[in-house]
Amino acid sequence: MINTQTEYNFLSQQAKSTPPSLIRAILKAMQDDEIISFAGGMPNPISFPEKELSVSMQNVVKKFGSKVFQYSITAGLLELREYIADRYNRKFNLGINAENIIITTGSQQALDLLAKVLIDKNDNILIEKPGYLGAIQAFSQYQPTFHPITLENDGMNINELNNLLSNRKIKFGYVVPNFQNPTGISYSKEKRDKLYDIIKKNNFLLIEDDPYGELRFEGEPLPYIAAGDTQNSVLLGSFSKTITPGMRLGYMITKNDDIRIAVNTAKEAADLHTNIFAQYVIWDYLINNDFDAHIQKIKNLYKIQSTAMIEAIKEFFPQNIKYTIPQGGMFLWVTLPEGLSSMKLFDIAIKNKVAFVPGDPFYVAEKNVNALRLNYTNASPETIKTGIKRLGEILKNYTLM
């Protein structure tokens, strides 16, 4: 007789080690239309080139017919990869070609694939502290040993990094050098140079994730840390923040053939190839429109929105609240006085119809941290002011508790 009460544990250790996304849970819980949300990392939909993409959809069907609906090669549409290589060579002198590029289903898939091919259990890997929660989630599946390095206003704490490397062999490091998620900070030229020297000396791989680099609205662009200069380099990019996130088109660039081939094989097992229709559409859009002019419109918009948020913070937040001032991207980072929990603050904020992302998911082990992330790109300046005013009133009471 079968015992129907017996419980079976079917999940692998990898599955058990992967934390669920707190942001997804937050967004799912926020069904109230009255809530002003600074939680999601979503581009402003008014920046989507809907008319132009519609034209490109018709163009590719008319020109290529069944090709855009058929299976394709894993690495991605050759013409799109050639466009990406040419753009990066012109802007950053990387010396790459189409063979160095794999098109992925968003840069998030690239993180998952890299984790799959790079990480053995207990491998030592470097991440930023605080760091991008999507990377933490992707890497956690394969049970590495995380070594978070404190993020300062201009990049990783170099002394802390050198101390770690003096007694640890690191397999790879992961950084977001431009307008980092969650803090909005960018690495200085000095920090980039120092980190590059450390990579060469200690022979570990650096993954530079750059979904926001095109969105600089202040200051001068800076060179990548290692991209194009070494076999110890992987660069990730995306069209999600500049054209449309819904088509889920990202890409991985590397001159390391071993990594590229392994990722290509892992992608074959994952999804065979990224949506080829979307690849054709994005490529047609890129070659028939002024992409840089489109990006400039987004930068102008985000500059207005970020300024609105910073000015509202100055007006409505208590004086003991610290915050970053980004030069681009989509986020800024708010630090509360020591001893205060952003997780507890979140519960209060939701009741008062305003939302943000508490700091906890951006750390590997810390709980009830005294920091939070605000997104400014998906709300009008008027809505931003109203939401920050609500949050400021909550903070004034909370910091007195």
Give me the CATH code for the 66-288 domain, please: 3.40.640.10
Average pLDDT, integer, range 79-84: 98
Kindly report the length of the chain. 401
CA 193 and chain centroid, separation = 22
- Sign of the alpha-carbon torsion through 60, 61, 65, 66: positive
- Sign of the alpha-carbon torsion through 292, 213, 123, 248: negative
pLDDT value of residue 199: 94
For 22-36, 115-129, 212-226, which range has the lowest pLDDT when averaged over its residues? 22-36
Distant-in-sequence, close-in-space partners of 321: CB < 8 Å, separation ≥ 6 = 313, 334, 335, 336, 337, 395, 399
Pick from 166, 339, 110, 200: nearest CA to 147 = 166
pLDDT value of residue 392: 97
pLDDT value of residue 229: 78
- Looking up tokens 């053995």, which residue turns up? 120
Average pLDDT, integer, range 229-241: 94
The answer on pLDDT for 173 being more than 90 is yes
Q: For a pLDDT cut of 90, what percent of the chain falls above it? A: 88
User: What amino acid occupies position 215?
Assistant: L
Distant-in-sequence, close-in-space partners of 195: CB < 8 Å, separation ≥ 6 = 155, 156, 158, 161, 175, 187, 206, 225, 226
Tell me if 138 sits within 8 A of 118, measured CB to CB.
Answer: no
Q: For a pLDDT cut of 70, what percent of the chain falls above it? A: 94
Q: Residues spanned by CATH 3.40.640.10 within the chain?
A: 66-288
Q: How far apart are CA 330 and CA 82, in angstroms?
A: 28
Q: Residues spanned by CATH 3.90.1150.10 within the chain?
A: 14-48+293-398
pLDDT value of residue 14: 78
Give the mean pLDDT of the chain: 94
pLDDT value of residue 16: 78
Taking phi over 0 as left and psi of -120 to 50 as alpha, with beta for the rest, 143 belongs to left
pLDDT value of residue 41: 87
Average pLDDT, integer, range 323-348: 96
Average pLDDT, integer, range 365-371: 94
SS3 string of 262-316? Answer: HHHHHHHHHHCCCCHHHHHHHHHHHHHCCHHHHHHHHHHHHHHHHHHHHHHHHHH
Tell me if 183 sits within 8 A of 156, measured CB to CB.
Answer: no
The answer on pLDDT for 3 being more than 90 is no
Q: Give me the CATH topology for the region 14-48+293-398.
A: Aspartate Aminotransferase, domain 1 (3.90.1150)
pLDDT bracket for residue 147 (50, 70, 90): very high
Tell me if 199 sits within 8 A of 230, measured CB to CB.
Answer: yes
Which range scores top for mean pLDDT: 2-11, 65-74, 225-234?
A: 65-74
Tell me if 247 sits within 8 A of 47, measured CB to CB.
Answer: no
Pairing of strands 124-129, 145-152: parallel
pLDDT bracket for residue 399 (50, 70, 90): low
pLDDT value of residue 19: 67
The answer on pLDDT for 142 being more than 80 is yes
Question: Inter-axis angle of helices 189-202 and 158-165, to 10 degrees?
Answer: 0
Pick from 11, 8, 64, 23: nearest CA to 357 = 23
Distances (CA, A) of 211 to 177, 208, 227: 10, 10, 14
The answer on pLDDT for 17 being more than 80 is no
pLDDT bracket for residue 24 (50, 70, 90): low
Query: Any alpha helices (H) in 77-225, and if so which ranges?
Result: 78-92, 106-118, 133-140, 158-165, 189-202
Distant-in-sequence, close-in-space partners of 173: CB < 8 Å, separation ≥ 6 = 125, 126, 127, 199, 204, 205, 206, 207
Average pLDDT, integer, range 130-149: 96
Q: How far apart are CA 390 and CA 395, in angstroms?
A: 9
Tell me if 239 sits within 8 A of 250, measured CB to CB.
Answer: yes
pLDDT value of residue 40: 86
pLDDT bracket for residue 286 (50, 70, 90): very high
pLDDT digits (tens, 9 = 90+) for 291-300: 999 999 999 9
Structure tokens belonging to residue 298 = 């987004």
Distant-in-sequence, close-in-space partners of 301: CB < 8 Å, separation ≥ 6 = 44, 46, 47, 377
The answer on pLDDT for 161 being more than 90 is yes
pLDDT value of residue 26: 67
pLDDT value of residue 18: 72
Q: How far apart are CA 97 and CA 86, in angstroms?
A: 8
